[in-house]
Structure 1
């Protein structure tokens, strides 16, 4: 297997077929076809279904394509590093962040990190846990601070638990059911899920953990979004409900617009953790950021105060 074969494969996927890929790359279509066919033959795998409507990825092809794209991304980064001037090379850290740590933990650490390493840029990606973990595994992210899924198979990851997050059921101020005392009173409500839009909202962990534990039927899902802003905007303008971290309701941009329902069946806490790929060495810059995130969370736990109400005074 060669990098050129991987580039040919990704080009066919990106451009929607051999003919378009060949035109974009100014390569012969026959050459691209032979390159991908050789890759399939050498490894006894079928990557494309070749029907009358063109080439579409098989199940194996979809899985392999993610690895191919990750390999090419790292190869391009390595080439850029080699070609950059030795002096003045811009350093950066790629960090993935889910909802709650993006509101308090990371902003609290960022100021002190900038004081220690003022020339380093943090390239921050916001997303749901599944997307961030995939980003770490595919080498698109060096670090991720995210909710730790209960069913995560983490043999290829290094994980450090940071703190426990407290979720609440949130509704707009003045919601007709703002004084509800039990989940059973909310069965007729529509729900907003902050999660992976490609997955059924009723199967999201925030819904399963909340309703299945109390043997209640799954609620109606009005929308699934990976945008916290989109979820908050929808909640404020409707009678929908959502399970959100309590820190969202305390944030200055949201405070006073949403309320937490005081339910007997309080949602259980869940761990927020720092994740990285076990086989990928961290740069000095990424090591420093990981150490500061871990130290800040440890100090916050020790003082038993919500993250963000303290000023981080961490050093390398």
Structure 2
């Protein structure tokens, strides 16, 4: 009887040992892979981005595995942005900061790098050959735009071309795979989907704007250089030195518009439209509101392309 009892105990212990060994093995695999239980507790990955279009790309690629916060909130302008203490505290708790090359990032990067050594900082435009900023001049006049790109500096608005946005989405996908290998298949599938959608969007806009290729439009803020380059348009800035145009500059703009047949002026909702509308009245033209910072990236670009195609004919 006693011998049978100990045989039963040994049998139970052997089964328990197998369970323990199996559990330890699973945990080891999970930790070695940088995922499973050890990482699952950290999902969703806390991510910060500088502007709304970048948040759109990260959300599309990352899905439910990321939680995205934005530095420049809706209605804000990168030209006047300064981070709040609350934002900096949340940024310190983030895993990744995706930047895109807008000027305000340069001002805060030294502080971030110094105080947040554990934050993974990724420039999504690093693989893009950026163009020099658009010529912000009228005939016989020089102009510098210090808030965006001084003469000779590079235009940061790379996301305004869908095919360049596709490259940035790829950088986001590769970064998320590196940080969270367990989500690789999800990130790759999501990237392929948005890449196909961006390529299709590019094809539709190209077809839509083909009829107005070579046309010129006034832009209050020169944020549309990559969009214009991609689809054969030209932009001329209303701003003079990053400021509202003076009365003399307004006169030059109106004369230029009449000589070249310019009938469209593009404005951002973040900037005053008063001067733009006065120019439009003087040249019998139209004002188009085009927000380069809109979150709904694809719908935004296609809507404006359709409007421009009708007005630039």
Task: Tell me which interval the TM-score lies in, with the shorter structure as reference length.
Answer: under 0.3
TM-score (norm 2): 0.22
TM-score (norm 1): 0.22
Higher RCO (C-alpha under 8 Å, 6+ residues apart)? 1
